[in-house]
Chain A
């Protein structure tokens, strides 16, 4: 995820009226997007804050927080939510860092091939991933059956429900996000810096700890932030893999809305999440800088005594690890990079296997002949695909998911394209707040967005409608569209646009004949990502799609809580295949664009 915030032209900062007018014209394409986010994101979030901070007697304060903190059950939920989120972020970074490091040091071709295997679990629905872990970890699951069969243990209750199960599920879900966030920052680090450090006499490991690690720290921080905040709003994994002791705050929100019909309390809980997110976000922006989310490294850091101390610590860390790092006889030639069959390569491969295999492990169950899920599945039958595709409930859910996904993709692409276009043409000081606003839905826990939208949409009678779902999903999809398109815009040569302009092309003609054809790969990717965000979403769907009009993930969620049937395996298999197809198509487009 990298971003171009500037085009190759000097910013016009002259104070004249004409220039001012020209600058305000440039923001025009972003206006619909800003209005959309204002109405469907800022206003709902503001309402939640207001609802949480203003108590019934009208005074502003933290009364709602006190209520939550004083009730032991809620305090415990709050505590476990933060603990699980923190552990998830920590594990995701520790496990993901070496993978991102390796991927940042290999050639483009190798990286893209490996990235496909990260994209698959990244885009696979959380529900499918969690379902897969249920099949692997439960009492009658693969692991229990195998360990029993091998005589490793005499009896077992399976790994779930337990904290371990929740953590396995969460880290498995979040690890791809962590890798994808750290990667752009690491790719931005010049190989020659490490070589320079080594020619200056640093050991390989000292060079890593004193050069690469500090330079990649914004990536670590960005990954930590995104994983932590996304985890705060998680409910699928703790519900399905955890015991009541691992109840997280989002589960409370859902039950208070859907079971207790206590919107006020749901609002208060959301406020806690929202305020935490904003606080973390502000601290993060102060310490690391928002731009690191996009792979840019800010020049904020200045020399100081603290820096000196840090350097000393990093150098001793490097010396400490020096014996563990294999010497390869002098400096490596720069083209060779990191070899696949090194400890690092094998570690990366192991991580990829752990990421991908569970996702694929649901497939055999879809072809089982038996009436229930059991390991090993009895092959081969298509009856569960028949029961999936033949059932009117599943059919309507599938059609609805496609409709909503398509609508979301079109709407968020139209809004995101305008906003990104405006962003690349505005002076840099205007792009930062604009970018912050555009990616904000990514940084606020989804459950908060969902609760806010529930307030708003119910007022307009849009709950349970495709329109309502498309609006909600578009809020979620805009950050993905913007980040994807911005990466494309960064590579776009604006002189081509100038050339077309000199030759007499109007703005629309330029977009049609030059900009769009050259950005086709990014536009396609953005469209597919937006589609997947919608197709995969459960959080918004739980609140906004009601009654019989459910989406595919909502239908799965309802089913999965009742019983783990082989139909679910058939649905999951279909979804995994679909996502694999989408990834293949988008990577084909990307390769063809070159």
Chain B
């Protein structure tokens, strides 16, 4: 793999407002990279600067090693799928898909071949004569995709493309986008605020917050080894226990965390860094409900929420902090019961913040 796209010190300010701090980012050829973050995190600004629709205040962008910072969007070899599609309402589906090819002055036959191919790829061959407003949301989405890759750009930028679809259609289109990514072999940069979408689709996720990159890694990296409280909180559901580090003298000096009025064992491998506060990340699915006082800590059940495949149990600990545990439906926890909580210390992550 080689670098397809590189941002070097890329930054954007609007007057006093910082939309993106100086940022470095490398996207590999053929990679599916997702820019994930809450609104205002700078992810859309970053994407728009890659596309060339917004000029950076500082830094540069390279595609295939060529500096394209001052190159017009249409000459960067990119394609873009817009939020709510931006299909031309006055053109038929066919003309929409052909637009990029015609702007490149391709021969009539080449245009026909490419458009038919693109429509076939999104399984919309019969819809060429229709107009965008005659299509459903999912169909419009497919046309937007076809229009974007009809002229074979090597980088495809997608700006929250599934935001306007309902949940079921969204899941379906996620599968479609994954398939298209494989078939096209192009580099995808995908913007979303939906963590599930990011986890499902991406080769790597670039998590953004407060106009800068918080963490970059594979979905598993981000889920299992978040580097900050924000990362832990944004991806997946997380329980955070704050406390002080200590060493258990009885059990041979193993590291422990004093939190929630309990002594919580940590993995032997824990790096004991000096920090003002330490936070233990417990994923709900790692928690196990046991008899009271048989676990690391006891908790009282406040609520039980049915989720279909499993049940979410909300507990409060003696010090008032709250936890959520996911448990199989074979158990039937009752509100008001006191239960013990246990887990595999190696499935937890200690954050030094």
Contact = CB atoms under 8 A, between A and B. Distances in A.
Interface stretch (B34-42, B97-105, B301-309): B97-105
B72 A14 contact: no
A413 B147 CA distance: 33
A19 B73 contact: no
A150 interface: no
A518 interface: yes
A517 B90 CA distance: 7
Interface of A: 10-14, 16, 18-19, 22, 493, 495-496, 498-506, 509, 513-514, 517-518
B14 A12 contact: yes
A493 B88 CA distance: 10
A503 B100 contact: yes
Ranked 8 nearest A-B pairs via Cβ: A504-B74, A503-B100, A13-B15, A504-B103, A495-B86, A499-B86, A502-B80, A502-B73
Given A14-B13, A499-B80, A501-B74, 16 more contacts: A11-B14, A13-B14, A18-B55, A19-B57, A22-B55, A495-B82, A495-B83, A496-B88, A498-B53, A499-B88, A500-B99, A502-B51, A502-B52, A504-B75, A504-B104, A505-B99
Interface centre among A10, A499, A500, A518 (most CB of B within 10 A): A499
B66 to A, nearest CB: 17
Nearest to A13: B15
B151 interface: yes
A14 B11 CA distance: 12
B55 A19 contact: yes
Contacts of A499: 80, 82, 86, 88
Nearest to A498: B53
A505 B55 contact: no
B219 interface: no
A493 B99 CA distance: 17
Interface in B58-100: 72-75, 78-80, 82-83, 86, 88-90, 99-100
Given A22-B55, A501-B72, A518 B90 contact: yes
A18 B69 CA distance: 12
A502 B78 contact: yes
27 contacts: A10-B19, A12-B14, A12-B55, A19-B57, A495-B83, A498-B73, A499-B80, A499-B86, A500-B88, A501-B73, A501-B74, A502-B51, A502-B73, A502-B78, A502-B79, A502-B80, A503-B99, A503-B147, A503-B151, A504-B100, A504-B103, A505-B74, A505-B103, A506-B74, A509-B103, A513-B99, A518-B89
A549 B36 CA distance: 71
Contacts of A506: 74
B106 to A, nearest CB: 11
Contacts of A518: 88-90
A195 to B, nearest CB: 29
Interface string B13-27: 111000100000000
A4 to B, nearest CB: 18
A317 B30 CA distance: 71
Contacts of A495: 82-83, 86
Nearest to A507: B72
Contacts of B90: 517-518
Nearest to A19: B55
B119 to A, nearest CB: 16
A501 B103 CA distance: 10
Contacts of B19: 10
B141 to A, nearest CB: 14
A242 B57 CA distance: 66
A496 B103 contact: no
Given A504-B75, A504-B104, A498 B99 contact: no
A500 B53 CA distance: 11
